Structures are given as structure tokens and as C-alpha cells.
Amino acid sequence: MGIEVLLFGPLAESFGAECLRMDYVEGMRCADLHAQLHQLRPDLSSLLDSCRWAQNHRFVSLDSLVMRTDELAVIPPVAGG
């Protein structure tokens, strides 16, 4: 089964999608999904490593346990004025 991960900004542009269906296994953590993204697009390592993960509208660490019902998002750094 899979879980949806929302993508924003340059990350969404690079993947060509605002949402990805990723492999899900009970007991996984954000770090496992992060690793899947690296496998899909190793050329984006620098961008991926500068992103933050959000789980149910709150920033979390890569150690955060993922539940199938969670809303997950990968948010790249932003700059502006």
C-alpha cells in the first residue's frame, strides 16, 4: 500500500507533480520516505536535504513515526522579502 506525500515549490517542479504516492510500511518514519525520494531523484540530493517535513500541518524531524492517515508534506526552503 502507499501513502501520499505533498510536494511544494521547486521540489514539485522537479518531480513534475504536487503529490507523490510512495511505498508505506507500518512502523516507518519520515526518514524512510526521505530515503525513497533520494532513490527516485538522486540528482536532487542537495535540495532534498535542505527541505523540512511536515506531518499533519506541523514540522517534524525525520525520526517522526508515520501513520497511514497522516498528511505529509516536504517543504523546501523559501526566501523572500
3-state secondary structure (DSSP) of residue 4: strand
| Averaged confidence pLDDT in the chain | 94
* 27, part of any domain: yes
* 16, part of any domain: yes
pLDDT in tens, 19-54: 999 999 999 999 999 999 999 999 999 999 999 999
Residues 6+ apart with CB under 8 A from 32: 25, 66
Question: Does pTM top 0.75 for this prediction?
Answer: yes
* 52, part of any domain: yes
* 22, part of any domain: yes
Q: Looking at residue 55, which CATH number applies to its domain?
A: 3.10.20.30
The three cell numbers of residue 30 are: 519520515
Q: Which of 5, 15, 3, 12 is nearest to 53 (CA)?
A: 5
Q: How many domains does the structure of the chain reveal?
A: 1
Structural domain span for residue 20:
2-75
* 81, part of any domain: no
* 42, part of any domain: yes
CA–CA dist 80, 23 (Å, integer): 34
